[in-house]
Chains A and B, each alone.
Chain A
Amino acid sequence: EAGVTQFPSHSVIEKGQTVTLRCDPISGHDNLYWYRRVMGKEIKFLLHFVKESKQDESGMPNNRFLAERTGGTYSTLKVQPAELEDSGVYFCASSKVPGVAFFGQGTRLTVV
């Protein structure tokens, strides 16, 4: 069984550019979460999808961030325009039942 897959593993972009991160959850997992860790700080929740619906997007920092989950399968997180403070590692996790979340390897985003 394939795990949670994230693309790309690393992205370096200039301030003001747009970046799209992708997460492919484990097949059959209705719950998909996005988290991020800004350098030296805690891992923070961004949002939670149940199938294609946003269950909780209370962690989205501002309207420069847009998350979608097409057909309840993979999800994308777009940052437009990117700012320096958006640099960090973005994690995706999926789960089928509560208490069992599987994480992807993360995408390291560097905004210069």
Chain B
Amino acid sequence: AQTVTQSQPEMSVQEAETVTLSCTYDTSESDYYLFWYKQPPSRQMILVIRQEAYKQQNATENRFSVNFQKAAKSFSLKISDSQLGDAAMYFCAYEEYGNKLVFGAGTILRVKS
């Protein structure tokens, strides 16, 4: 069974600084999706960034980028120029095409002003 591990229960970053959230996963599949979701206190789960496993190029979305290491089964999220609005719970998730999402335990990100 696929598993997703987020080893950092909580992280802090100073406003305008950069922070990296870690995620590793385990799968025997070669084609799949990886995601980072953000859940602010309002509870709405928001997709931050998505990576397709067959693409070697790391996905980027404005201040958010990933470091996807397929062989190492690692998928970290880098947030540059952190803003107060980035404070939230971040979930790493895996999807085997068209199937359920498997989530990590989440990392609480605190942004200090």
B101 engages A33 (CB within 8 Å): yes
In the complex, what's the smallest C-beta–C-beta distance from B54 to chain A, in angstroms?
Answer: 11
Chain B, Cβ-Cβ closest to A107 = B43
Interface residue B102 (Cβ < 8 Å from any Cβ of A): yes
Residue count of chain B within 8 Å CB distance of chain A: 22
Chain B, Cβ-Cβ closest to A46 = B100
A106 engages B45 (CB within 8 Å): yes
| Chain B residues closer than 8 Å to A103, beta-carbon distance | 37, 44-46
In the complex, what's the smallest C-beta–C-beta distance from A59 to chain B, in angstroms?
Answer: 7
Residue from B43, B47, B50 with most neighbouring chain A CB atoms (10 Å): B43
In the complex, what's the smallest C-beta–C-beta distance from A107 to chain B, in angstroms?
Answer: 9
Picked from A48, A59, A102, A106, the residue with its CB within 8 Å of the CB of B43 is A106
**Bound Cα distance A56, B100 (Å):** 9
A98 engages B101 (CB within 8 Å): no
| Chain A residues closer than 8 Å to B36, beta-carbon distance | none
B97 engages A98 (CB within 8 Å): yes
Interface residue B19 (Cβ < 8 Å from any Cβ of A): no
B42 engages A105 (CB within 8 Å): yes
Residue from A33, A91, A103, A108 with most neighbouring chain B CB atoms (10 Å): A103
B residues lining the A interface (CB < 8 Å): 33, 37, 42-47, 50, 52, 91, 95, 97-106
